[in-house]
Amino acid sequence: MMTRLVRSEKHRDYLLLILRVTIGVAFIWACAHKIRQPYDFLHAIYSYEIVGPKVGLLVAIMLPWFELLIGMSLLSGLMLGGAFMGVMASCLAFSIANAHAIASELSISCNCFGAIDAGMVGYGTLFRSIMFLICGIVGVCLVTVSQHRLEKV
């Protein structure tokens, strides 16, 4: 029984590490071009036709730094619960924005990861954001189980 428990804990830790590194690198990669080219990112926000100029400017200023903070937190292992909650919040918002763009038949570029992601918003980008959202949910669950396990010791 104990061997099985240790093995499952080890698998949980490996899965958590894989999620942390994968999402952390993705978020840092995503924020890099937004920080270097803020006007391109502001244009991308406006192209979704969801928010007005003031809110769009606020999002363009805050979101890249929020993504950087999440990515650094995930890679460093600090404040993991909050970092995964941030992943969930940003991916939920992006999934809603993607669904809106698809429903409105907007012909816009996602441009989330810079020039390598110059494809049009569609079901592929929606699927990707939902997958990141699911990974965030799994991450929160794994962190919660790990913290609960440490509290018992």
| Helix intervals (H) in 37-122 | 38-47, 53-76, 80-103
Residue (of 41, 46, 47) closest to 60 by Cα position: 41
Give yes or no for residue 2 having a pLDDT over 50.
no
Give pTM, 2 decimals: 0.86
Query: For residue 153, is pLDDT > 60?
Result: no
Number of C-beta neighbours around residue 26 at 10 A: 20
State the average pLDDT over residues 109-134. Answer: 84
Q: Residue 33 in 3-state DSSP?
A: helix
- What does the mean pLDDT of the chain come to? 88
**What is the mean predicted confidence (pLDDT) over 1-14?**
65
d(CA 152, CA 143): 14
**Would you kindly state where each structural domain of the chain is located, as residue ranges?**
2-152
Whether residue 106 is predicted with pLDDT greater than 70 in this model: the reply is: yes
Which of 29-33, 109-113, 125-129 shows the lowest mean pLDDT across its residues?
Answer: 109-113
Q: Could you identify the residue written with the tokens 């929160």? A: 140
C-beta separation of 106 from 50 below 8 A: no
Average pLDDT over residues 12-22: 94
The Cα 45–Cα 78 span in angstroms is 30
Tell me the two tokens of residue 83: 């970092």
3-state class (DSSP) for residue 87: helix
On the question of pLDDT at 99 being above 90, the answer is: yes
Question: Tokens 């894989």 — which residue?
Answer: 18
